[in-house]
Structure 1
Amino acid sequence: MTWIEPKYSKKAVSRAGDNLINLNSSEKECLEALDIVSNWRSSYTFPLNNITSLLRFKVKTVEKNAIITQRLKRIPSILRKLKRYHEMRLHRMQDIGGCRVVLSDIKKVNTLKHLLLNSRTKNELAKENDYIENPKDSGYRGIHLIYKYKGKKDEIYNGHTIEIQVRTKIQHSWATAVEVAGTFLKQPLKSGEGSENWLHFFKLVSLLFAFLENCLPKNITNQRLKEIKHEVNLLATELEVFKKLQAFSVSTNLINDAVSRDYSGYFLILLNIDEQNVQIWSYKEKYLSKATEDYINFEKKYKDTKEVDIVLVNAKSIKTLKKAYPNYFADSKEFLDKLNEVLAKEI
């Protein structure tokens, strides 16, 4: 397989990122900047593949059927982050390449975290964020480990950082539901922006889910938990949560009809929000360059269209793809099932 190498200096990469968020940039400047940013992002594929391989090796001893995927950050997500954090330079962004594992429970998440932190790897652990012990203000929970790639033969990629996300199924269902609601309500809920009621609802539900997983913050008393449950019930009714999340369904069109259920490789996903339709193209591992080229062309085509989401991911099968990225299929079933469960539970 031919890996894509970075063709531009870090200074040029960061300048390109600035041009893309600068409202005064010309169309020509934006297109040139998009080519530079796309090449920089694509150059993360090799270190991402390397670190995902380490993750797969460690996961084997923890949970055989864990969900593992990898993806390159979408251009719109990169630009939103640059706009949100004014001091950030694109070449220093730490989650352009990311891999994720979803495990069945908290115990397995902690076991895998310990294995990763104590593994013998030439890659350097640059940052550790335990959002289970210290959840984000939004209610997001999970483990994030940032690794800086280091290789002797492939020094051109040295310094590229890759983010590993480790979540439980319940945490994953919560994060997915936030994305589904945000996508179809056309509000950036994932970034903590948008309807205060929806944001507050998800923050409270995160606490109820933490109760289900026995990792509730110590300052939450039984009485407070009952109040939270009551408030969630009221908000679920007011916002029509069940009705709306069930209505956010999509029809799926798999472009490659010959793809088998166990097909492994790269998947290009295009979600049309207004039409509630998702299209999927599949590529064998050896056709990564073609997958990347198509990804970039679609991003250019839809760069001014907020109704279309595009992402290129690597997964072991279509089944794994749908479990790892249910937000692209508007699938909130696991979230709603867990919400029903905790609302019916005695506290």
Structure 2
Amino acid sequence: MNKLRRPGTHFELGALDDIGGCRVIVDSPSQVDQVVLVLKSNLDFKGRNPEKDYIREPQKSGYRSHHLFAVVEDEGARYRVEIQVRTRLEHYWATAVEAMSEIYGHDYKSPPLPKEEESMDAERREFLKAVSALFALREGTSPVPGSEGLVANDVIRRLKSLSCLDQLMIDLRASADSVFQPDAIDDGSGGLFLLEFSRENQNLDVERFAVSELRDALRRYDSLERDIEGFTREKRNCIDGGGAYDNVVLSYAQNPEQLSVAYPNCSANVNLFTDMLKQYGI
């Protein structure tokens, strides 16, 4: 909805590149390139601008990932699907953006509003840019705009000069209180996992489907998404009668432990992000 309403754009719903989306997380930039080549040889893509490489050309915000825009046909309809291919470090950074957006009530994925330029939010955005610059240096990829020619120590000094740093790290670590316990999921085998999360009471409910039950999983996912959007609000309570679910994700994983990486709001990713920063003395 925000994209459709964005000033200066003329999007139509069917023209959005990410009306559908999925993500591949790998260990290194070279593996990103390998996955991209495989996908390009096996899928159909939109005619103009079929990809955006935000690893070789990072965004000003610090966002880094390689996007491909596939075209998928199903039952006579054509859909655009955005495929994000990124490294674990890039994913940890994106997870921190999600966490900060929830903590402070601002959408740090979107460009700042004019009133934010002189607020604490400007410093938080600078924090994200600087950390992304550190990660880019670590991976040996293109510098984030504004960090050209800098070495790690330069970026670390920039980070430590931010007045918001100490409180921000405290808030991130507090947000990582674990709500995710993969050991509680049956026998530890893989499949499709439907994760339903309530921010209000920090409940996470998990349903597992076999890969052969993909359509059932998608129907259940669609039903929960509709509930969240308010179609049947009275039905979307947690099992114990607590707060309503406000986030749902359908993920494939070879085992429950992988969900701690696949699920973007899971505390494990924020912990990994803050642990990585400890290595730089932050």
Class of the TM-score when normalised by the shorter of the 2 chains = 0.7 to 0.9
- Of the candidates 2, 8, 30, which is equivalent to residue 107 of structure 1? 30
Unaligned runs of 5+ in 2: 234-243
Kindly tell me: are residues 260 and 93 of structure 1, through their superposed partners in 2, closer, same or farther at Cα, counting changes over 3 Å?
farther
Q: Is the 8 A contact 2:44 2:72 kept in 1?
A: yes
- Match in the other structure for 1:123: 44
Mapping 1:160-179, distance limit 5 Å: 160-179=79-98
Q: Is the 8 A contact 1:209 1:342 kept in 2?
A: no
1:135 aligned onto 2:58: yes
- Match in the other structure for 2:239: none
Residue identity opposite 2:4 in structure 1: L
- Of the candidates 214, 217, 220, which is equivalent to residue 140 of structure 2? 214
- Match in the other structure for 1:228: 155
Shift of 1:263: 2.5
Kindly tell me: are residues 99 and 122 of structure 1, through their superposed partners in 2, closer, same or farther at Cα, counting changes over 3 Å?
closer
1:303 aligned onto 2:259: no
Kindly tell me: are residues 318 and 209 of structure 1, through their superposed partners in 2, closer, same or farther at Cα, counting changes over 3 Å?
same
Kindly tell me: are residues 281 and 175 of structure 1, through their superposed partners in 2, closer, same or farther at Cα, counting changes over 3 Å?
same
Q: Distance in 1 between matches of 2:136 and 2:273?
A: 13
Shift of 1:340: 2.1
Cα root mean square deviation, aligned: 3.1
- Using the size of structure 2 for normalisation, the TM-score is 0.77
Kindly tell me: are residues 216 and 91 of structure 1, through their superposed partners in 2, closer, same or farther at Cα, counting changes over 3 Å?
closer
1:264 aligned onto 2:264: no
Write out per-residue CA displacement over residues 278-335 of structure 1, whole angstroms, 9 at most, x where no aligned residue.
Answer: 2222223344444334334433433359982222333333222221124234631221
- Of the candidates 76, 79, 96, which is equivalent to residue 156 of structure 1? 76
Q: Distance in 2 between matches of 1:214 and 1:258?
A: 38
Q: Distance in 2 between matches of 1:147 and 1:206?
A: 27
- Of the candidates 282, 288, 313, which is equivalent to residue 208 of structure 2? 282
Shift of 1:82: 2.2
Q: Is the 8 A contact 1:143 1:165 kept in 2?
A: yes
Residue identity opposite 2:103 in structure 1: F
Q: Percent identity?
A: 29
Which secondary structure does the structure 1 equivalent of 2:162 belong to? helix
Residue identity opposite 1:334 in structure 2: L
Count of residues in correspondence between the two structures: 257
Unaligned runs of 5+ in 1: 1-78
- Of the candidates 324, 332, 336, which is equivalent to residue 270 of structure 2? 332
Mapping 1:74-89, distance limit 5 Å: 79-84=1-6, 86-89=9-12
- Match in the other structure for 1:198: 124
Q: Is the 8 A contact 1:192 1:199 kept in 2?
A: no
Kindly tell me: are residues 322 and 258 of structure 1, through their superposed partners in 2, closer, same or farther at Cα, counting changes over 3 Å?
closer
Q: Is the 8 A contact 2:19 2:81 kept in 1?
A: yes
Kindly tell me: are residues 272 and 290 of structure 1, through their superposed partners in 2, closer, same or farther at Cα, counting changes over 3 Å?
same
Write out per-residue CA displacement over residues 35-58 of structure 1, whole angstroms, 9 at most, x where no aligned residue.
Answer: xxxxxxxxxxxxxxxxxxxxxxxx
Q: Is the 8 A contact 1:149 1:160 kept in 2?
A: yes
Write out per-residue CA displacement over residues 60-83 of structure 1, whole angstroms, 9 at most, x where no aligned residue.
Answer: xxxxxxxxxxxxxxxxxxx23323
- Match in the other structure for 2:241: none
Kindly tell me: are residues 122 and 337 of structure 1, through their superposed partners in 2, closer, same or farther at Cα, counting changes over 3 Å?
closer
Kindly tell me: are residues 122 and 323 of structure 1, through their superposed partners in 2, closer, same or farther at Cα, counting changes over 3 Å?
closer
Which protein is richer in helix relative to its size? 1
Q: Distance in 2 between matches of 1:209 and 1:236?
A: 21
Residue identity opposite 2:149 in structure 1: T
Shift of 1:145: 0.9
